[in-house]
């Protein structure tokens, strides 16, 4: 989420505590926009196809939000450890990517196979929340 290098953490104006705080604040902004987009998707599905489709859109959106929460947690941990061990910091990020991938697969399988949610709603809710993620990250880089 945050693009901090070793020099910024060690010698620059940002201390490690400030960097972690910045990562958490950016994560909150991203998640807020994702939740807003999830509610908009649910409202659209509710208006067009009813409660079951809206419920599916919420499920898909919350799957994306949960993935972002895990990403934020992983970036926070990686930022905290980058000074002591850059290799460990990188491993945390790679492990987090695999975790998020599996989380999304399990959530989709659970929602579609077990809960029998409306597939278009699940995928649309997820996709719109992911689009919100991309937009918010682009805005934060400016």
Give me the tens of pLDDT residue by residue for the chain, a chain 142 residues long: 444 454 444 544 456 667 667 767 777 888 999 999 999 999 999 999 999 999 999 999 999 999 999 998 888 888 888 888 888 888 999 999 999 999 999 999 999 999 999 999 999 999 999 999 999 888 877 7
Instruction: Dump the DSSP string for 40-56.
Output: HHHHHHHHHH-HHHHHH
Tell me which residue of 120, 129, 121 sits closest to 67, measured CA to CA.
129
Whether the CA torsion 119, 122, 126, 132 is positive or negative: it is: positive
Confidence at residue 107, expressed as pLDDT on a 0 to 100 scale: 97
Find out whether 37 and 128 touch, Cβ atoms under 8 Å.
Answer: yes
Give the list of residues 6+ apart from residue 49 with CB closer than 8 angstroms, or none.
Answer: 118, 121
The rounded distance, in Å, linking the Cα atoms of 57 and 39 is: 8
C-alpha–C-alpha distance, residues 31 and 88, integer Å: 26
For 85, residues 6+ apart whose C-beta sits below 8 A from its C-beta are none
Distance in angstroms (rounded) separating the CA atoms of residues 12 and 137? 23
């Amino acid at each position: 989420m945050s693009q901090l290098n070793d020099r910024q953490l060690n010698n620059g104006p940002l201390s490690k505590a400030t960097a972690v705080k910045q990562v958490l604040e950016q994560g909150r902004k991203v998640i807020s926009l994702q939740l807003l987009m999830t509610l908009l998707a649910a409202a659209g599905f509710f208006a067009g196809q009813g409660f079951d489709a809206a419920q599916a859109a919420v499920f898909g959106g919350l799957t994306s939000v949960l993935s972002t929460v895990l990403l934020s947690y992983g970036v926070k941990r990686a930022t905290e450890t980058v000074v002591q061990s850059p290799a460990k910091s990188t491993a945390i990020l790679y492990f987090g990517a695999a975790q998020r991938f599996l989380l999304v697969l399990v959530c989709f399988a659970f929602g579609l196979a077990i809960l029998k949610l409306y597939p278009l709603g699940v995928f649309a809710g997820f996709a719109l929340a992911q689009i919100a993620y991309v937009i918010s990250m682009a805005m934060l880089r400016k």
